Amino acid sequence: MGETGQQAAGGKIVTQTNYPPPRADRKDRVAPGRASDRLRPMYYQDMPSPIGRLRLIASDTAITGIWFEQGRDATRGDPTLVERSSPLLGLARTQLEEYFAGARREFDLPLEPRGTDFQRRVWKQLLTIGYGETTSYGALARNLGDAQASRAVGLANGSNPIPIVIPCHRVIGANGALTGFGGGLPIKRALLDLESSAAQPRLI
């Protein structure tokens, strides 16, 4: 069996590829968007999962999106996307399969979400939320240096184009209630339950 699961979570790239590996700091894995991104070809591959079909989207060098079968992405389309397999999409699929199996707690992928400077700051902050942990919009705003920006943080969180890998599902209301999520609240609950269950110590 190849290097998967917790072995791969330490930062190794388990598939030989010609794209640059992600940097060691999880926050630094979100690359800045560029105006020329819209001119580059984008590829996609669909995969089954316990929460429904996922559409993985990538450029030649980084993952740029994950779409849900349900929720905000249900009727979404992009005629510029080309269905094609690639080593990067294959690696993303493998790591997501490991995640859903409870064998992976951290993704090791180059990421390039498109958004404003503020949105990318929020998305980088999301990468600091540990597996099985949650935080609030207010706490994220404080970490970004503006305690009054919780509403703007919530909007940026809801615009995250690479859910699961950039874990916007780990952000909940200050009172502990689930709040909006692009894939719908049942999927958000399923992801939190998955991580909570996998993080529990097992009795031998």
Question: Which pLDDT belongs to residue 33?
Answer: 54
Cα(174)–Cα(138) distance, integer angstroms: 7
Cα(174)–Cα(21) distance, integer angstroms: 36
Cα(179)–Cα(173) distance, integer angstroms: 6
Token output for 42 = 């984008």
Class (C level, CATH) for 117-199: mainly alpha
Write out pLDDT tens, residues 57-110: 999 999 999 999 887 877 777 888 999 999 999 999 999 999 999 999 999 999
Residue 93 corresponds to which amino acid?
R
pLDDT band at 199 (very low <50, low <70, confident <90, very high): low
Q: Which of 31, 62, 144, 168 is catalytic?
A: 168
Class of residue 187 by CB neighbours under 10 A (exposed 0-12, middle 13-18, buried 19+)? buried
Token output for 189 = 């609950």
Largest CA distance in the chain: 54
Which alpha helices (DSSP H) does the chain contain, by range? 5-9, 87-100, 117-126, 137-143, 150-158, 185-199
Write out pLDDT tens, residues 113-160: 999 999 999 999 999 999 999 999 999 999 999 999 999 999 999 999
Name the 3-class secondary structure at 163. Answer: coil
Question: Which pLDDT belongs to residue 167?
Answer: 97
pLDDT band at 3 (very low <50, low <70, confident <90, very high): very low
Q: Which is it for strands 81-83 and 42-47: parallel, antiparallel or unpaired? A: parallel
Cα(134)–Cα(182) distance, integer angstroms: 17
Are 31 and 111 spatial neighbours (Cβ–Cβ below 8 Å)? yes
CATH code linked to domain 5-100: 3.30.160
165 catalytically annotated: no
Question: Which pLDDT belongs to residue 174?
Answer: 85
pLDDT band at 39 (very low <50, low <70, confident <90, very high): low
Cα(1)–Cα(34) distance, integer angstroms: 38
Are 80 and 1 spatial neighbours (Cβ–Cβ below 8 Å)? no
Q: What is the DSSP letter of 143?
A: H
Question: Which pLDDT belongs to residue 13?
Answer: 23
Domain-by-domain residue ranges, the chain?
A: 5-100, 117-199
pTM: 0.79
